[in-house]
């Protein structure tokens, strides 16, 4: 009997040790910052603080959006920007919802084959590095459109803190220093001069941005027109053309941010509100979540083999559709309602079995009846009135095209790479596209950005989003599931290890050293291809959850320097 008890104890110890290898085995809930009134969660503490202070001063979530966007352009130049674009989904305290698209556009002189050589092969780096990669920027138009429609404070109050920050300078973090070192050779390739070329900035150095402060001061005085028609526009166009680019004054003058109707769908008792095309985010998120809704994930368990299988198979099918059907809705006919209809999605999962994977080579886009024809950043805001915004903004790759306009003090995007340069040829995120996302003058390139807001029982429940290129959609989805299916706090949901499948390449990408080795072995045995080596992290999710007592809990991703600030 004694022997039996000792054996039992040893077995118990082995099982508990094994469990504690996974970060989630520790059941003590880990909460993020909790505040009573308002909160901003963004990639840098300086930007979150500027946004939160604006709300404290009496501004609303929309004022804070404008302030945080500009503060990130100063404090987080790797992705924060006025030289790029983005999307915002909002939900006002009274329940009104909407979205704005301030995505970049292809210049008027862009052509379908502009990244191909004479043999019709994609010219390496042309759509990613330097001036030809740049799309017409939308961020300044986005900030002013949001402020004009919903803002309550004068624009001076909103822009001034970012001008001051640019003048005082921003301290380089360890992660930023590592990034600057990594990108240095590319800065050299793309620029003749820039503050990032002359010196290799180290951790704890302070970088000042006087040129950006001047640009922001002119924008504060002259409004949106300054960026699109004024002195800033003239300097920008001259800089682009001197570098051999094709963006003109007419391109800038014609740019407009567009109000869009967000994608909405239900998952159990949640109402999910996410970004519509030209982002693929909302449609793909809806497709994946509706495909997995019939399965009892909470019974399967978080990151268990069955959960990973169901999610992977739904993702594979959604990304196959993404690559065929999605593009700029002003240029292509998207069968949006059909793509997210329950019947269609049920049919899409008909071939799924727990016995073995469906190979991506056996999957194509589904048959819906068409009638005709490496760095982004996310911030989430809730104000004291209950208005919420969810904004994802980008210059696409880390430091965009790496082209830095020294006179104006900012990097320009390389968003043109999000177009499909040639059908079937993957872009920098490995996603392929077709005719729907081919290049045309003034067309917006397809995005994966998925700023999302969730209601539960008619009340605000969460606002969240993330960078991560093609992995954005699946990171947002896993974070929602972590809260809803697996009862995690906002911070735990953000912390949990993530995985991703995007149809092609046919592999499950998993955060390295985060998943049980047994689980990986079993997935491989079933026939899944696993990639743990690719890039080390998947997304940097920043979200806010409304708790039962109406307090707010922030989830700021430890994978970056992300920070929640509120009061």
Annotated binding site: 103, 394-396, 418, 447-448, 469
Minimum CB–partner distance for residue 375 and ligand DON (Å): 4
Please report, as residue ranges, which positions from 398 to 427 form the binding site for ligand DON (by CB under 6 A): 415, 418
Q: Which of residues 195-224 bind ligand DON (CB under 6 A)?
A: none
Q: List the interface residues with ligand DON, window 458-517 (CB under 6 A).
A: 467-469, 472
> Is 450 near ligand DON (CB under 6 A)?
no
**Candidate segments 92-100, 147-155, 311-319, 442-450, binder of ligand DON by CB under 6 A:** 442-450
Beta strands in 81-235 (DSSP E): 85-91, 97-102, 170-171, 206-207
CB 77 within 8 A of CB 83: no
Figure out which of the listed residues 376, 463, 475, 489 binds ligand DON, where binding follows CB under 6 A: 376
List CB contacts of 229: < 8 A, sequence separation 6 or more: 249, 252, 253
The residue with tokens 């240029």 is 331
* Whether the Cβ atoms of residue 393 and residue 85 lie closer than 8 Å to each other: yes
Alpha carbon distance 49, 39 (integer Å): 9
Taking CB under 6 A as the binding criterion, the range among 16-24, 324-332, 371-379, 504-512 that sits at the site for ligand DON is 371-379
- 274 sits near ligand DON (criterion: CB under 6 A): no
Judged by CB under 6 A, the stretch of 194-202, 267-275, 292-300, 441-449 that binds ligand DON is: 441-449
- Residues 152-174 as b/e (b if ≥16 CB within 10 A, e otherwise) read ebebebbbbbbbebbbeebebbe
Residue 437 makes contact with ligand DON by CB under 6 A: no
Q: Of 376 and 387, which CB lies nearer to ligand DON in the complex structure? A: 376
Dihedral sign for Cα 473, 476, 479, 484, please.
negative
Closest CA to 277 of 65, 442, 139, 99: 99
Q: Minimum Å distance from CB 18 to ligand DON?
A: 33
Nearer to ligand DON, 78 or 481 (CB): 78
The binder of ligand DON chosen from 448, 474, 475, 489 (CB under 6 A): 448
Q: Kindly state whether residue 394 participates in binding ligand DON, applying the rule CB under 6 A.
A: yes
Nearest partner of 466 among 551, 398, 559, judged by Cα = 559
Report in angstroms the alpha-carbon separations of 142 from 6, 83, 99, 377, 456: 66, 12, 11, 15, 28
Q: Minimum distance from CB of 417 to ligand DON (Å)?
A: 8
Residue of 243, 287, 390, 396 that binds ligand DON (CB under 6 A): 396
Between CA 397 and CA 408, with CA 403 as vertex, the angle to 5 degrees is 120
Residue 170 to residues 286, 364, 435, 564, Cα–Cα distance (Å): 39, 48, 43, 18
Q: With the CA atoms of 273, 277, 283 and 285 taken in that order, what torsion angle do they form, in degrees rounded to the nearest 10? A: -60
What part of residues 522-541 is at the interface with ligand DON (CB under 6 A)? none
Question: Least Å distance between CB 177 and ligand DON?
Answer: 18
Q: How many residues bind ligand DON (CB under 6 A)?
A: 14
Residue of 101, 226, 375, 553 that binds ligand DON (CB under 6 A): 375
Q: Smallest distance from the beta carbon of 114 to ligand DON, in angstroms? A: 18
Active site residue 68: no
Task: Specify the residue, 157 or 328, whose C-beta has the smaller distance to ligand DON.
Answer: 328
The distance of closest approach from Cβ of residue 153 to ligand DON in the complex, given in angstroms and rounded to an integer, is 29
Q: Does 449 sit near ligand DON (CB under 6 A)?
A: yes
Based on the shown chain and the rule CB under 6 A, indicate whether residue 374 belongs to the binding site for ligand DON: yes
Interhelix angle 472-484/281-292, rounded to 10 degrees, is: 40
The answer to the question of residue 390 lying near ligand DON (CB under 6 A) is no
> CB-wise, 313 or 417, nearer to ligand DON?
417
Name the residue with tokens 């208005």.
Answer: 387
Q: Rule CB under 6 A: is residue 278 a binding residue for ligand DON? A: no
Alpha-carbon distance 30 to 493, whole Å? 9
Helix axes 139-150, 155-168, angle to 10 degrees: 140
**One-character DSSP codes across 474-538:** HHHHHHHHHHHTT---HHHHHHS--EE--SSS-SEEE-TT-S-HHHHHHHHHHT--EE-SS-S--
Q: Which is nearer to ligand DON, 52 or 448 (CB)?
A: 448
Query: Is 81 near ligand DON (CB under 6 A)?
Result: no
Q: Is 176 in the site for ligand DON (CB under 6 A)?
A: no
| Cα distance between residue 213 and residue 409, in whole Å | 8
3-state secondary structure of 42: strand
| Binding positions for L-glutamate | 103, 394-396, 418, 447-448, 469
Question: Smallest distance from the beta carbon of 309 to ligand DON, in angstroms?
Answer: 26
According to CB under 6 A, which one of 35, 390, 421, 447 is a site residue for ligand DON?
Answer: 447
Can residue 554 be called a binding residue for ligand DON (CB under 6 A)?
A: no
Residue whose tokens read 């191909």: 116
Q: Using an 8 Å Cβ cutoff, are 473 and 481 in contact? A: no
Among residues 215, 376, 489, 563, the one annotated as catalytic is 376
Binding site for ligand DON (CB under 6 A): 374-376, 394, 396, 415, 418, 447-449, 467-469, 472
Catalytic annotation, residues: 376
């Amino acid at each position: 009997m004694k022997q039996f008890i000792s054996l039992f104890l040893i077995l118990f110890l082995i099982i508990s040790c094994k469990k504690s290898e996974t970060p989630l085995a520790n059941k003590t809930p880990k909460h993020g910052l909790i505040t009573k009134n308002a909160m901003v969660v963004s990639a840098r503490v300086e930007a979150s603080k500027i946004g939160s202070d604006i709300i404290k001063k009496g501004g609303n979530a929309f004022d804070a959006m404008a302030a945080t966007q500009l503060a990130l352009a100063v404090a987080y130049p790797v992705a924060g920007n006025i030289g790029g674009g983005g999307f915002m989904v909002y939900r006002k305290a009274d329940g009104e919802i909407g979205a704005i698209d301030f995505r970049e556009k292809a210049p008027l002189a862009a052509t379908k084959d502009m990244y191909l050589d004479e043999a019709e092969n994609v010219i390496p780096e042309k759509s990613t590095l330097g001036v030809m990669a740049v799309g017409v920027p939308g961020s300044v138009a986005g900030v002013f459109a949001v402020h004009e429609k919903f803002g309550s404070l004068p624009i001076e109050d909103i822009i001034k803190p970012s001008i001051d920050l640019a003048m005082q300078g921003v301290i380089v973090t360890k992660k930023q220093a590592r990034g600057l070192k990594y990108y240095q050779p590319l800065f050299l390739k793309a620029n003749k001069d820039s503050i990032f070329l002359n010196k290799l900035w180290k951790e704890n150095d302070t970088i000042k941005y006087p040129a950006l402060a001047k640009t922001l001061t002119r924008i504060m005085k002259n409004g949106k027109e300054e960026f699109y028609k004024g002195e800033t526009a003239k300097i920008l166009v001259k800089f682009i053309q001197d570098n051999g680019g094709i963006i003109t004054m007419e391109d800038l003058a014609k740019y407009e941010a567009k109000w869009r109707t967000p994608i909405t769908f239900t998952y159990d008792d949640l109402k999910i509100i996410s970004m519509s095309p030209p982002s693929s985010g909302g449609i793909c998120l809806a497709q994946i979540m509706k495909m997995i809704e019939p399965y009892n994930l909470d019974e399967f368990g978080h990151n268990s083999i069955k959960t990973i299988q169901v999610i992977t198979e739904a993702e594979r099918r959604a990304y196959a559709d993404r690559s065929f059907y999605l593009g700029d809705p002003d240029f292509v006919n998207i069968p949006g309602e059909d793509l997210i209809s329950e019947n269609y999605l049920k049919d899409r999962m008909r071939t799924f079995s727990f016995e073995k994977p469906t190979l991506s080579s056996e999957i194509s886009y589904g048959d819906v009846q068409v009638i005709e024809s490496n760095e982004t950043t996310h911030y989430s805001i809730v104000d004291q009135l209950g208005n919420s915004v969810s904004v994802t903004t980008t210059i696409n790759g880390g430091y965009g095209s790496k082209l830095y306009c020294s006179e104006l003090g900012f990097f320009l995007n390389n968003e043109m790479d999000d177009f499909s340069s040639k059908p079937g040829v993957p872009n920098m995120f490995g996603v392929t596209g077709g005719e729907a996302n081919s290049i045309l003058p003034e067309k917006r390139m397809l995005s994966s950005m998925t700023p999302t807001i969730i209601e539960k029982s008619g009340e605000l429940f969460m606002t969240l989003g993330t960078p991560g290129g093609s992995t954005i959609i699946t990171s947002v989805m896993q974070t929602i599931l972590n809260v809803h299916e697996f009862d995690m706090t906002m911070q735990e949901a953000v912390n949990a290890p993530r995985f991703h499948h995007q149809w092609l390449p046919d592999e499950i990408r998993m955060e390295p050293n985060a998943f049980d080795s047994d689980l990986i072995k079993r997935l491989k045995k079933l026939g899944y291809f696993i990639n743990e080596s690719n890039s080390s992290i998947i997304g940097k999710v920043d979200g806010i959850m409304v708790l039962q007592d109406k307090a707010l809990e922030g989830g700021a991703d430890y994978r970056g320097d992300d920070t929640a600030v509120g009061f």
